[in-house]
Amino acid sequence: MTSQPFSSFSQPTTPVLVDPHDPLPQTHIKMLPPGTATHPALATHTHLLVHPPTYVLHTASPVLSLSIIVKYTLCITHSSVYLSEPLNAYAHMGMPKPFVRVMSPPPNLALDARRVGSDERFARNGCRPNAVLRPVLCKKTGKESKEDVVAEEDHEYVRKGDKGRSKADAGDSLTFGIFTLQDIKANEEIVLGWERDDGNVVPHLPALMENPHSFPSIDTLLNMSSFLSANRNKIHIHLERQP
């Protein structure tokens, strides 16, 4: 699928212009055996066979570097809405839940594929990513009829909660897509980078292993996490009142 020049060093919020009529590479999902690595939010103390199945996204054919692999179906909300929802437990985990991506400010967006996503949401996070999520601007080329454009645009905006959009301004469509950071072979897993909060304990693990006495105890960290999770709304209101 052809697109405008794209660089792995581009700003995460810079849209990549693509032709919606160019074919996308074929992908497929695979189920991992029970007991293999899963998302930290799904890790519990229950038996491994009780864990939900873990799926991964693979390419079906080779894909060149800096190419779009698949469009990412999702629901776009403001990140503050996602972060303030207690059920999302962001303050406790320090990272989004599975199938959710949070874009740092600007533009303060939460990309939620839990209810509207397709196979592409099974792209796992890893320490050695070979792909990245970027905004995609699909240029209307005039090949489709006006009715098709309106139907597609209405579907996109209704899915995002905007039912009052006028049909007169159907034009370029903004969505998101997964792009390669390197050449990917056939049947290779598509891996995105981790999205952890600055306060997440994982980035501090190497220093903790070298000097375990320079950090608070695990009990202290757990108590701090529980306090922040329980009082997140009060802290948020207090910060908003600050000059």
How confident is the model over 86-119, as pLDDT tens digits? 999 888 888 899 899 988 777 788 999 998 888 9
Q: 110 and 79 in contact (C-beta within 8 Å)?
A: yes
Q: 58 and 30 in contact (C-beta within 8 Å)?
A: yes
Winning range, highest mean pLDDT, from 26-35, 145-154, 200-209, 214-223? 26-35
Q: Which domains does the chain have, with CATH numbers?
A: 16-197 (2.170.270.10), 201-243 (no CATH)
Position with higher pLDDT, 159 vs 210: 210
What's the confidence (pLDDT) of residue 56?
Answer: 94
The torsion angles phi and psi of 189, rounded to 5 degrees, stand at -70, 140
Q: At CB < 8 A and 24+ separation, what contacts does 17-21 make?
A: 17/137, 17/139, 18/68, 18/136, 18/137, 18/138, 18/139, 18/177, 19/138, 19/139, 19/141, 20/138, 20/139, 20/140, 20/141, 20/173, 21/141, 21/143
What average pLDDT does the segment 159-178 reach? Answer: 57
What's the confidence (pLDDT) of residue 227?
Answer: 61
Q: Which residues pair with 135 in a beta bridge?
A: 176
Winning range, highest mean pLDDT, from 5-14, 42-51, 53-62? 53-62
Handedness of CA 131, 137, 139, 145 (dihedral sign): positive
What average pLDDT does the segment 134-153 reach? Answer: 57
Confidence band of 21 (pLDDT split at 50, 70, 90): confident
If DSSP codes are grouped into helix, strand and coil, which group holds residue 226? helix
Q: Rounded to whole angstroms, how far apart are CA atoms 205 and 212?
A: 9
